[in-house]
Each structure stands twice: as C-alpha cells, then as structure tokens.
Amino acid sequence: MISFENVAYNYGGGELLSEVSLRLAAGSFHFLTGPSGSGKTTFLKLAYAELMPTSGHVTLFDREVRTLTRDDIANSRRRIGVVHQDVQFLDHLPLTANVQLPLTVSGRAGDPRDLTDLLDWVGLGHLADARPPSLSGGERQRAALARAIIMGPDVVLADEPTGNVDWEMSLRLLKLLVELNRMGKTILVATHDLNLIRQAKSQVSARVLRISKRRIQLAGADL
C-alpha cells in the first residue's frame, strides 16, 4: 500500500527523519510512537504525499510519489483517509455536512442511508444536526474518523486520535480502528499513549514503530 525506501526528511534545519525504510502492507495495523517533536506527524504527511521526501522514495499504491501528477495525488488521497492531529470542521455547517465534505468536494452525492449508518457506527447518529462547536472532544474525534472513511479508503492514518480524550473514549476510538482493520483496511495510528498500544495488543496483531534518533524502528515487546 505505502512504502518508504531510505527516506530522509528535513524542513530546512537539520535532518528530522533519516534512513526510513518500511512497508505498510495491505490489512496491517501499525502504531507509530515517539516523543513529541520526533516527527510522527511529518511521517504521516510523507505517507499521504502532503510532503515529498528530501531524499529516498515513498511509494503509494505502487507508484513513486515524485512521478505523480496533481490528479494522481488527489486520486491516491481518496484511498487514504486521514484523521488529522488538529481536527478542524466548518463550524457553521451541521455534522452531516462536515462528514460528507470529502464527497461534496469530489462532486459525488453520497447515499443518505450510508451516511446514517456511518454516523450510527461512530455513535453520533443523534448529533447529525449538531454544529461542531457543540461537540465534545471525543465526539469531534469520532466525527473526524467518520469523515476520514466516508470515501471508503483502503488506508486510514490517524494522528493522535486519542489526544485530549479520556481513557474510556480512547478505548472506544481504538475499538472503531480495530473494527476498520477487521474490515480489511490498513491502519496506522500515531500516538504517544503507550497504554493505548498495550491495550490494542490484546485486540489486534499490531506492529509498533518507534521514532528514535531520527530513525524509525520496529519496537520489541518491551513497551
């Protein structure tokens, strides 16, 4: 699905990520962990072609990102649902319109029943008409997840989806991500919450990637 081959990235200062080689195979579940500022969000941006690597190769669905046209990138993005760290909504629009936005932007009309099912699945059916500012942190995260998957992506990248939510809500979000994985989607969750990763290990066979000293390594069982 997504692979990195000897990728390095820097924003213009020193190198932030170096010698990153890994493959997110279809149907896999990965966590990406590492301290704040270590480059988790940057890695995700490389993985959905928001950033181009400084050197090395990122391949999305068997195509090297540098060879992609803007249209190709837009098409690849439809196959990758992203839950951003800084979840943003259009505050004047109801939840339904916000969740449907990716469809609207791409000129597609969704089936209203699918939207209802999706909102029910994330437990927000009763808030369909609510405006984003009235939602709690956990509701916003679930709305962001619904929006990320409305196009039916193959891959879901979630950036600190349980930041700012309590433990019970974290578990609920984790359960949704595990269910998506069981449906066959490839999942990558960036988080610094090691308890969440420990909890996940009893539910799904997940690999844990750790950023340390600019490199990304597979973590052992010693979390």
Ligand X SMILES: Nc1ncnc2c1ncn2[C@@H]1O[C@H](COP(=O)(O)OP(=O)(O)O)[C@@H](O)[C@H]1O
Applying CB under 5 A, which residues contact Mg ion? 40-41, 85
Binding segment (CB under 6 A) for ligand X, from list 31-39, 61-69, 104-112, 115-123:
31-39
Beta bridge partners of 210: 33, 217
138 binds ligand X (CB under 6 A): no
- Among ligand X, Mg ion, none, the one that 39 touches (CB under a kind-dependent 5 to 8 A) is ligand X
Binding segment (CB under 6 A) for ligand X, from list 34-42, 89-97, 149-157, 172-180:
34-42
Q: Which residue has the tokens 């269910």?
A: 179
Print the binding letters for residues 160-199 with ligand X: x by CB under 6 A, - otherwise: ----------------------------------------
Q: Do the Cβ atoms of 87 and 144 come closer than 8 Å?
A: yes
Q: Biggest alpha carbon distance in the chain?
A: 50
Print the binding letters for residues 40-59 with ligand X: x by CB under 6 A, - otherwise: xxx-----------------
Measure the CA–CA gap between 76 and 65, rounded to whole angstroms. Answer: 10
212 sits in the region (left: phi over 0; alpha: psi -120 to 50; else beta) called: beta
- Among ligand X, Mg ion, none, the one that 205 touches (CB under a kind-dependent 5 to 8 A) is none
34 binds ligand X (CB under 6 A): yes
DSSP 8-state secondary structure symbol assigned to residue 192: S
Q: At what angle do helices 137-149 and 112-121 cross, to 10 degrees?
A: 140
Residues engaged in binding ligand X (CB under 6 A): 11, 16, 34, 36-42
